[in-house]
Amino acid sequence: MSILIRDASFVLTNGKGILKGYDIFIEEDKISEIGKNLKRSAEFVVDGRKKIVMPGLINSHTHVSMTLLRGLADDLPLMDWLKNHIWPTEQRLTAKDVYQGALLGCLEMIESGTTCFGDMYFFADEVGKAVKLSGIRSLVNSVVIDLLPENVAGLRVLAETLKKIRQLNCSRVTPWLCPHSPYGCSEETLRRVKEISRKEKLRINIHLSETKSEIEEIKKKHGKSPVEFLSEIEFLDSDVTAAHCVHLTDKEMKILKERDVKVVHNPVSNMKTASGVAPIPEMLEKKICVALGTDGAASNNCLDMFQEMKFAALLHKINKLNPTVIPAEVVLGFATVNGARALGLENQIGAIETGKKADIIILNIKKPNLTPILSNHSVASHLVYSATGNDVETSIVDGKIIMENRKVLTLDEEDVMEKAQEAAEDLQNRSKPL
């Protein structure tokens, strides 16, 4: 398949600034050529006039099937929310539930401009199946957590799921390893996950230092903070992606930088659960790679990365009482190039460059909320502060158009929503005490 995006008003490259009036030629799954007035013919031609063309957004940390738990137990402290509401419900999940929830999440992300996400959940091969069908890209695997039964979230389940994910034989579905957290996994489990990571050459995705209570728990158990503990057991390195990292000391940030750990900021979820404000400006000063994620739809409660970018920018301005902290261009990097690094895909996605995978979204700027555009800075500013997922008109993943003129081509929207509603209602009934 070949696609020609012709005469785009603005091309956000995330490598070479913003281009005006450029064409983008896509051949098979890659960006083949970028230039003005390209002498190319293509099977599909997209009119780029009055459009912003940019890399697809990367949601670096979520639990996609938690769409079924959206609104289940809002306005509660994190550990109360998890232990008394979310985990008891999740123990009643079936593979079919996870599949339906994943389809709903993929649909929501496609419609709001996300083309790739990093996921951690149960029955992860079912998430992989949904990803394969929907046309989106993802890193997936089942969560490992010792607080739940071995047959639900143990290392054996991880090994079985890893095999099933690979059997999907889909280049857009990549496995990684997902130990839940230092408080959710024993030292033995964490060491075993690290061994598997080295042997299989797989990245690791883990929750880290999200709340003060978990930090106190780890200090009582190990005599060290979570970061120091993971460092001591040689768990931290460049293949680790740590979500949240809300409560960090200067020493801990130095450790993360030295070990080249990638951090995923989840501002909306952290605000909703009142977990705290991650020291993102300080991390940036230390040149730590910061990506962006929505977390699950039960703690956000949506998967719109445009909304997440806006909150990421605004939260730190008010927290520091400084409007210059984390400008729009930096936040765009969180959701694109840094997201690619956090998922180990920096050589494939995250930027519009020749040779990169064609994961691209196109926004219609003939909208009141995106008018006027007076400069290149206006483009970045509008994308972070004014745009919403509803402004995304076309989504291309792996060189294939999966949404055109707001219509998702890979999924039946009504059918996905209807079956997700049915699955959520059934799960709620199953979750009621006997």
Mean pLDDT of 174-191: 97
Q: State the pairing for strand pair 18-19/137-140.
A: unpaired
Q: Inform me whether the pLDDT recorded for 434 exceeds 50.
A: no
Q: Inform me whether the pLDDT recorded for 180 exceeds 60.
A: yes
Q: Inform me whether the pLDDT recorded for 431 exceeds 60.
A: no
Residue with tokens 């209602």: 425
CB-based contact 394:403 (threshold 8 Å):
yes
116-141 as b/e: b if 16+ CB within 10 A = bbbbbbbbbbbbbbbbbebbbbbbbb
Which tens digit of pLDDT belongs to each residue from 243-262?
Answer: 999 999 999 999 999 999 99
CB-based contact 212:223 (threshold 8 Å):
no
pLDDT band at 68; cut points 50, 70, 90:
very high
pLDDT of 259: 98
Q: Inform me whether the pLDDT recorded for 375 exceeds 50.
A: yes
pLDDT of 151: 78
Residue with tokens 């294939």: 400
pLDDT of 429: 87
Mean pLDDT of 64-74: 95
Mapped to the 3 state alphabet, what secondary structure does the chain carry? Answer: CEEEEEEECEEECCCCCEECCEEEEEECCEEEEEECCCCCCCCEEEECCCEEEEECEEEEEECHHHHHHCCCCCCCCHHHHHHHHHHHHHCCCCHHHHHHHHHHHHHHHHHCCEEEEEECECCHHHHHHHHHHHCCEEEECEEECCCCCHHHHCHHHHHHHHHHHHHCCCCCEEECEEECCCCCCCHHHHHHHHHHHHHHCCCEEEEECCCHHHHHHHHHHHCCCHHHHHHHCCCCCCCEEEEECCCCCHHHHHHHHHCCCEEEECHHHHHHCCCCCCCHHHHHHCCCCEEECCCCCCCCCCCCHHHHHHHHHHHHHHHHCCCCCCCHHHHHHHCCHHHHHHCCCCCCCCCCCCCCECCEEEEECCCHHHCCCCCHHHHHHHHHHHCCHHHEEEEEECCEEEEECCEECCCCHHHHHHHHHHHHHHHHHHHCCC
pLDDT band at 433; cut points 50, 70, 90:
very low
Mean pLDDT of 318-332: 97
Does the CA dihedral 40-56-118-234 come out positive or negative?
A: positive
Does the CA dihedral 183-187-189-194 come out positive or negative?
A: positive
Q: Inform me whether the pLDDT recorded for 314 exceeds 50.
A: yes
pLDDT of 76: 85
Cα(316)–Cα(187) distance, integer angstroms? 34
Q: Report the greatest alpha carbon distance in the chain.
A: 68
Q: Inform me whether the pLDDT recorded for 166 exceeds 80.
A: yes
Question: Is cis: bond before 59, omega within 30 of 0?
Answer: no
Which tens digit of pLDDT belongs to each residue from 100-156?
Answer: 999 999 999 999 999 999 999 999 999 999 999 999 999 999 999 997 778 778 899
pLDDT band at 14; cut points 50, 70, 90:
confident
Question: For the chain, which domains are there?
Answer: 2-55+358-408 (2.30.40.10), 57-342 (3.20.20.140)
pLDDT band at 16; cut points 50, 70, 90:
low
Which tens digit of pLDDT belongs to each residue from 195-238?
Answer: 999 999 999 999 999 999 999 999 999 999 999 999 999 999 99
pLDDT of 306: 98
